Chain A
Amino acid sequence: MSDKIKIKFTVNGDSEEREAVVGETLLKFIRDELNLTGTKSGCEIGECGACTVLLDGKPVNSCLVLAVELDGKELLTIEGLSKNGELDRLQQAFIDHAAFQCGYCTPGMIMAARSLLERNPNPNDSEINKALSGNLCRCGAYQEIRDAVKDSASK
């Protein structure tokens, strides 16, 4: 069965109307239908956080959400952060602190960290660790990631 359902949503500020295949994950829809490949696919079982996006302002693992659930919602992906070619503060802080090696975890880390800073503009180390505990970095850049988040918070 590959039924499709018509869905309306906004992605990074733009309204869109598309068809989503029932049974397809939001992750696959974002990458293959919207061609926004900044969102990464790692484990596809909720364990790694590489696929983190903001749905109605809240971070979710897009590999555990159905594409059809996007109907009526607002989606923010890593591509939506920069404005007029300028990186946002958190993205710049990741660069300044070399908070990655391969960069595969970075989009998910940044989306999860962004949501943390909205909830708690001045997080301490342990609050950052907790908030990012669902995001794995196989290169082990955790210290630099924490520094980048703190630095961005202080600005």
Chain B
Amino acid sequence: MKMLSYDYVKCTGLSEAVDILAKEEQAYPYAGGTDLMVGMRGGKFAPKKLVDVKDLPELNVFEENDQGIIIGAAITLNQIACDDSIVKNIPILAEGSHSVGGYTIRNRATLAGNICNASPAADTAAPLYTLEALINIAGPDGNRSLPVEEFFTGPGQTALKKGELVQSIVIPRPFPAGKGVYSKASRTGSVDLATVGVAVQNWGEHVKIAVGAVAATPVRALSVEKAINEKGEKSSAEAAKLVHNDIAPITDIRGSREYRYHMVEVLVRRGLEQTMGV
């Protein structure tokens, strides 16, 4: 095995971490390492320094307040998947988190790492889109907050600037009144990335739908939403067909472009049946 060469620093304060990330070249925040360690081995990342952010108190916040549910960037997917408030109020996020890898991976993998890695197939992304999550970012020029849809900018690319890191993810109030489901098609039905991932969230008066692994970033299925929310489309089969307007899938080892077009429509239809009763 090739020995990788880089520095490692475990930070104890957020400002220290931001400082290092801002000043040093090729310094990467290191959370669960489940993408980083694999990526370094495959040559995708060549860090000079890993900045371990797991112990920063600011990133370990996990609470519910007036604004909503605040999930610090060091919180793992297992913590999220079995959190009482999340399971009760926003089960779609528990489902999305639970569908990442196996139990041992989720013990380390974080929600923030999943979105910062910015895979178009990231399983937590589509649920976060339908919940209109906010990403709190800390950086050398202070803090800012972005809607999750603006955070993803391309495959493996985010809106983060040099020196910035994700501090927390906020699921804002009010929480959705209706049911939400995340469904994933993958090759093995066990540990595998999504060939297609679909989140459908009923908000009581309207529906929000987001799909993953069928475009350069996760995307909202706005054509479907419009048909249902504005034009009163009652047939889930008819509405689901419109998802083809919102996506641009490619062929890769997980599935062909055609298969993705087909599966995304099927999963949107089923999601609508389960959540909207249409």
**Do A and B interact with each other, yes or no?**
yes
A contacts, CB < 8 Å to B: 1-3, 5, 21-25, 28, 44-47, 49, 52, 58-61, 63-66, 68-69, 112, 115-116, 130-135
A46:B38 contact, CB within 8 angstroms = yes
Chain A residues closer than 8 Å to B108, beta-carbon distance: 60-61, 64-65
Interface members, chain B 182-230 (any A CB < 8 Å): 190-191
**A129–B235 alpha-carbon span in the complex (Å):** 37
**A22–B5 alpha-carbon span in the complex (Å):** 7
A46 contact from B5, B8, B101, B190, Cβ within 8 A: B101
B3 within 8 A of A: yes
Count of chain B residues with a beta carbon within 8 Å of a chain A beta carbon: 25
Chain B residues closer than 8 Å to A60, beta-carbon distance: 104, 107-108
**A44–B101 alpha-carbon span in the complex (Å):** 15
Known: A28-B1, A112-B104. 8 other contacts (CB 8 A): A1-B6, A23-B8, A46-B105, A59-B103, A59-B107, A61-B108, A66-B37, A135-B102
A64:B3 contact, CB within 8 angstroms = no
B contacts, CB < 8 Å to A: 1, 3-8, 32-34, 37-38, 41-42, 50, 52, 101-105, 107-108, 190-191
**A135–B4 alpha-carbon span in the complex (Å):** 26
A47 contact from B3, B7, B42, B191, Cβ within 8 A: B191
27 contacting pairs across A/B (C-beta < 8 A):
A1-B7, A2-B3, A5-B8, A23-B3, A23-B4, A23-B5, A23-B6, A44-B1, A45-B37, A45-B38, A46-B34, A47-B191, A52-B104, A58-B107, A59-B104, A61-B34, A61-B105, A63-B37, A64-B32, A65-B108, A66-B37, A68-B8, A112-B104, A132-B102, A134-B101, A134-B102, A134-B103
Chain B residues closer than 8 Å to A63, beta-carbon distance: 37
Chain A residues closer than 8 Å to B107, beta-carbon distance: 58-60
How far is the CB of A125 from the nearest CB of chain B, in Å? 14
Q: Which of B33, B101, B102 has the most CB of A within 10 A?
A: B102
Do A64 and B6 contact each other (CB < 8 Å), given the known contacts A46-B105, A133-B102? no
**A49–B108 alpha-carbon span in the complex (Å):** 14
B103:A64 contact, CB within 8 angstroms = no
Task: Give A41's nearest chain B residue, CB to CB.
Answer: B1
B8 contact from A28, A47, A59, A66, Cβ within 8 A: A66
How far is the CB of A4 from the nearest CB of chain B, in Å? 11
**A53–B67 alpha-carbon span in the complex (Å):** 39
Q: Which of B3, B7, B41, B104 has the most CB of A within 10 A?
A: B104
How far is the CB of A18 from the nearest CB of chain B, in Å? 16
A3:B41 contact, CB within 8 angstroms = no
How far is the CB of A41 from the nearest CB of chain B, in Å? 8
A45:B41 contact, CB within 8 angstroms = yes
**A95–B4 alpha-carbon span in the complex (Å):** 39
Chain A residues closer than 8 Å to B101, beta-carbon distance: 46, 134
Task: Give B104's nearest chain A residue, CB to CB.
Answer: A59
**A63–B191 alpha-carbon span in the complex (Å):** 17
A22:B103 contact, CB within 8 angstroms = no
Chain B residues closer than 8 Å to A3, beta-carbon distance: 7
**A56–B34 alpha-carbon span in the complex (Å):** 18
